[in-house]
Chain A
Amino acid sequence: MVFKNMSYKNQRKLIIIAFSLIPVVLLFTFAYLPVINMFKYSFTNWNGYSDHYKWVGFKNYKTIFTDPKYFTVFKVSLYYFVATFVQMGLALYFATILSFKVRAKNFFKGVLFFPSLLNGVAIGFIFLFFFKPDGTLDTILNFLGLSSLSQGWLLNPNIINVSLAGASIWRYMGFNFIIFLGAISSVGKDVYEASDIDGANKWHQFRHIIIPSIKRIVQLNLILGISGAISAFDIPYIMTGGSNGSNTFVIQTVDVAFKFSKLGLASAMAVVLLFIVVIVTILQNLLSKKED
């Protein structure tokens, strides 16, 4: 009740502090403190478990920037980059049409979200069977009379990253979909009704009502998607362990850290990755601001 009698100005101060304190402490302890330590390790030759390590200055960074093998893997990220847009597009498409009148709406909503409920083991297992010779995909193609298309989906080095990016879309699209759907649903029905009266067609509604109202969430998802593409990890790691030309920067980092016990070098790689992701995010933000 004391609080109630405070001026709004003082209340404001108090509530900002009270409401920010715990989130900020948690954020700092579990997100930023590890990163600060990672910076520290990146200047050492620490193996990840010993008591002792040496400071090596910029040696780790020099290694990364002078050996081309560390950077060539970024071209694999391009596949996931493209996949991000496909994934966002599909999610937005389905979220939009399922926001309007559709038969068996809840069934489709549930089904589209379903892959997000699955666990990583299941995904690896499912897609191994999906892509193997005479597996699920080939069987379906056969059934459709398209057997000429079937091939080694993970064997052909030109196709493998497309297959993996496809699996990645399968897995993550439902998540974007549900977020978009939730955001679109926060737009009241009356807004559409009003625009219907004004004679707006579905495309206009999409362009002028839906897009602006969910802009922030689309942007966030896009940023997450793109940084996810740059740091693509779990799908290729589960499926192929990065072999046959599907290696990504994060897989490489994990390998360096744990296969070769070079946590110092791996930390430096993680720092480089973080910088790249941050720069791309800032660029993207600047670009989308310019558009406005």
Chain B
Amino acid sequence: MKRRKMLLGLMSALLVFAMVGCSSSKSEDTGSTNTGTTGTAATGKDLKGDITVITQKTDIVDTVFKDYAQKFKQEYPNINVKFQALSDYEGQIKVRMNSSDYGDVLLLPTSIPLADTPQFFEPLGNYDDMKKQYNGLEERTVDGKVYGIPTTINFNGLVYNKKVFADAGVTEVPKTPDQFLAALQKIKDKGAAVPLYTNYAAGWPLTQWEADLTTVAGNVDYVNITQANTDDNFVKGSPHYELYKLMYDVAQKGLIEKDPTTTDWETSKADLANGKIGTMVLGSWAIGQIQGLSKTPEDIGFMPFPTNAEKVIMPLADDYTIGISSKSSNKEAARAWIDWFINKSTYPTTEGGGMSPAVGAELPATLKQFEGTDVEFKFQTPAKAGQEGLVDKIDKDSEIGLWQPDFKKRIIEAAIGNKKESYDDIMKDLNDKWKASRASVASE
């Protein structure tokens, strides 16, 4: 049950600017599709109180969120909503959780271990009841109680410019790593665009690759079940090895940007939109933004990560989950906001850019293209009882950072010849760390 959204868990004393990136990733769900009742709170007028809502969306807190607050007020005239936006959400909220003031409604920091959730958050209901209403609750369910509802559900793969691919003579969407490399090579030979843009400098876009582990494994059990129980997480033939081999290969064959160390995320979006970049590994949340920058939005497509697996699974993953502070003094009002935000604000599909967590909600347009194809959309299987959060624990103890950019950067540095180590050296090092930490976590 790990996944890091942006986890640039940074800080910065002096001046620093938080290069905030958000990614998203996975979570899991058994995928119950029973149609549930929509949330029926007590009538709006009965609830009153002032609530503070903390968000990571610094860019729209004064615009879109203000509109939300107004509409919310029409239904709940006696609740006053105030917002706080944190630019380095993960880093700052964790420091603030040392106090009793971390708002009434907030996003659950991904780096807080599952077991610690009840210490900071209020249970929202029983899992068995709530699953009829929402998908993706498993990520923050402890002992049958739900603590967070996903603000949106993302799917991961590659955002690509169809025209760049077509102009280079790639007529079919590449399915396997080999086809993918061949397609990128064609784009390189054509010379009009950077085949794949890594966004190495920003760092966090590299963590998006990890979200595609399920696609490479071709199995929804891999991430939380198989991975937690293997010592061979990075050996040749394992999904991690195959996943990052592709990263190494594209960098090594020069199919990436000329100078990865000076990339700029903003520019990269515009370049992808305008056909100067072929593709980037990203989540669904980015599609809308890139289409918005393009004069021909229909050229911007989405494809599953290349895989040799038999089944093509596009993993669905919770974005940040939203919950209520256990220290809140207006929990009912806070709950009203959450239900309204998920079901009525349109945030999950518009600003969130993914799928609504509400059971039975309509598929977003970008997903409809895959209806009737062999691509499957699935949540990952949750960890086995007693193993919740285990992968995360091993990851932290070993300082591997599955959801951190660090070892991905190392792979790219090695691939472009800046470091002397080979891909197998790196994988061996990671596997050794994994094995040692798995043993030490087990012995605790």
Which residues from chain A sit less than 8 Å from chain B, CB to CB? 47-51, 119-121, 123-124, 128, 131-133, 135, 152-157, 160, 233-234, 237-238, 240-241, 243-245, 254-262
Most chain B CB within 10 A, of A119, A135, A256, A261, is at A261
- Interface assignment of B385: CB less than 8 Å from any CB of chain A: no
Partner of A48, one of B15, B94, B401: B94
Of chain A, the residue at the smallest CB distance from B396 is A260
Which residues from chain B sit less than 8 Å from chain A, CB to CB? 7-17, 19, 90-91, 94-95, 97-98, 111-113, 116, 119-120, 200-201, 203, 258-262, 264, 396, 399, 401, 404-406, 409, 413, 416, 418-419
Cα-based distance from A50 to B115 in the complex (angstroms): 10
> Shortest beta-carbon distance, A43 to chain B, in Å?
18
Of chain A, the residue at the smallest CB distance from B19 is A241
Cα-based distance from A128 to B261 in the complex (angstroms): 9
Residues of B within 8 A of A160 (CB): 261
Cα-based distance from A233 to B91 in the complex (angstroms): 17
Residues of A within 8 A of B259 (CB): 132-133, 152, 154-155
Cα-based distance from A132 to B94 in the complex (angstroms): 34
Tell me the dominant secondary structure on chain A's binding face. Answer: loop
Cα-based distance from A259 to B12 in the complex (angstroms): 13
Cα-based distance from A256 to B179 in the complex (angstroms): 39
The answer to whether A131 touches B262 (Cβ under 8 A) is: yes
The answer to whether A237 touches B262 (Cβ under 8 A) is: no
Of chain A, the residue at the smallest CB distance from B260 is A155
Known: A234-B15, A238-B17, A260-B396. A243 touches B261 (CB 8 A): yes
The answer to whether B409 touches A243 (Cβ under 8 A) is: yes
Of chain B, the residue at the smallest CB distance from A262 is B396
> Shortest beta-carbon distance, B401 to chain A, in Å?
6
Residues of B within 8 A of A240 (CB): 201, 261
Most chain A CB within 10 A, of B259, B260, B416, is at B259
Residues of A within 8 A of B111 (CB): 261
Most chain A CB within 10 A, of B264, B399, B406, B409, is at B399
Cα-based distance from A51 to B10 in the complex (angstroms): 22
The answer to whether B13 touches A234 (Cβ under 8 A) is: yes
Cα-based distance from A153 to B111 in the complex (angstroms): 34
Residues of A within 8 A of B15 (CB): 119-121, 123, 234, 238
The answer to whether A157 touches B112 (Cβ under 8 A) is: no
The answer to whether B396 touches A234 (Cβ under 8 A) is: no
The answer to whether A244 touches B261 (Cβ under 8 A) is: yes
Number of A-B residue pairs having CB atoms within 8 Å of each other in the complex: 120
The answer to whether A155 touches B261 (Cβ under 8 A) is: yes
> Shortest beta-carbon distance, B390 to chain A, in Å?
15
Cα-based distance from A244 to B251 in the complex (angstroms): 14
Partner of A133, one of B10, B91, B258: B258
Known: A50-B119, A243-B409. A238 touches B16 (CB 8 A): yes
The answer to whether B262 touches A133 (Cβ under 8 A) is: yes
Partner of A157, one of B14, B116, B203, B413: B413
Residues of B within 8 A of A259 (CB): 7-10, 401, 404, 406
Cα-based distance from A256 to B262 in the complex (angstroms): 25
Knowing that A133-B259, A154-B262, A241-B203 are A-B contacts, what are 7 other residue pairs whose CB atoms are under 8 Å apart, sorted by A's residue number? Answer: A120-B12, A121-B15, A152-B261, A155-B261, A237-B10, A244-B261, A254-B10
Tell me the dominant secondary structure on chain B's binding face. Answer: loop
The answer to whether A234 touches B94 (Cβ under 8 A) is: no
Known: A237-B16, A260-B396, A261-B111. A244 touches B262 (CB 8 A): no
The answer to whether A234 touches B12 (Cβ under 8 A) is: yes
24 pairs, CB–CB < 8 Å, chain A vs chain B: A49-B112, A128-B201, A128-B262, A131-B262, A133-B258, A152-B259, A155-B259, A155-B262, A155-B416, A233-B14, A234-B12, A234-B14, A238-B12, A238-B15, A241-B203, A241-B405, A243-B203, A243-B405, A243-B413, A245-B418, A257-B11, A258-B11, A259-B8, A261-B111
The answer to whether A244 touches B17 (Cβ under 8 A) is: no
Cα-based distance from A259 to B401 in the complex (angstroms): 8
> Shortest beta-carbon distance, B345 to chain A, in Å?
29
Residues of A within 8 A of B203 (CB): 241, 243
The answer to whether B261 touches A261 (Cβ under 8 A) is: no
Residues of A within 8 A of B19 (CB): 124, 238, 241
Residues of A within 8 A of B16 (CB): 120, 234, 237-238
Cα-based distance from A51 to B413 in the complex (angstroms): 40
> Shortest beta-carbon distance, B101 to chain A, in Å?
14
> Shortest beta-carbon distance, A242 to chain B, in Å?
9
> Shortest beta-carbon distance, B154 to chain A, in Å?
21
Cα-based distance from A47 to B119 in the complex (angstroms): 14
Of chain B, the residue at the smallest CB distance from A171 is B15
Partner of A258, one of B14, B94, B120, B418: B94
The answer to whether B13 touches A233 (Cβ under 8 A) is: yes
Most chain B CB within 10 A, of A49, A255, A262, is at A49
> Shortest beta-carbon distance, B103 to chain A, in Å?
15
Cα-based distance from A232 to B418 in the complex (angstroms): 23
> Shortest beta-carbon distance, B437 to chain A, in Å?
11
> Shortest beta-carbon distance, B326 to chain A, in Å?
12
Cα-based distance from A50 to B418 in the complex (angstroms): 40
Of chain A, the residue at the smallest CB distance from B417 is A157
> Shortest beta-carbon distance, B299 to chain A, in Å?
26
> Shortest beta-carbon distance, B416 to chain A, in Å?
8
Of chain B, the residue at the smallest CB distance from A163 is B261
Cα-based distance from A121 to B405 in the complex (angstroms): 21
Smallest CB-CB A-B distances: 7 pairs: A120-B15, A258-B9, A132-B262, A154-B261, A121-B17, A234-B14, A243-B409
> Shortest beta-carbon distance, B248 to chain A, in Å?
16
> Shortest beta-carbon distance, B410 to chain A, in Å?
8
Residues of A within 8 A of B116 (CB): 49-50
Residues of B within 8 A of A261 (CB): 9, 111, 396
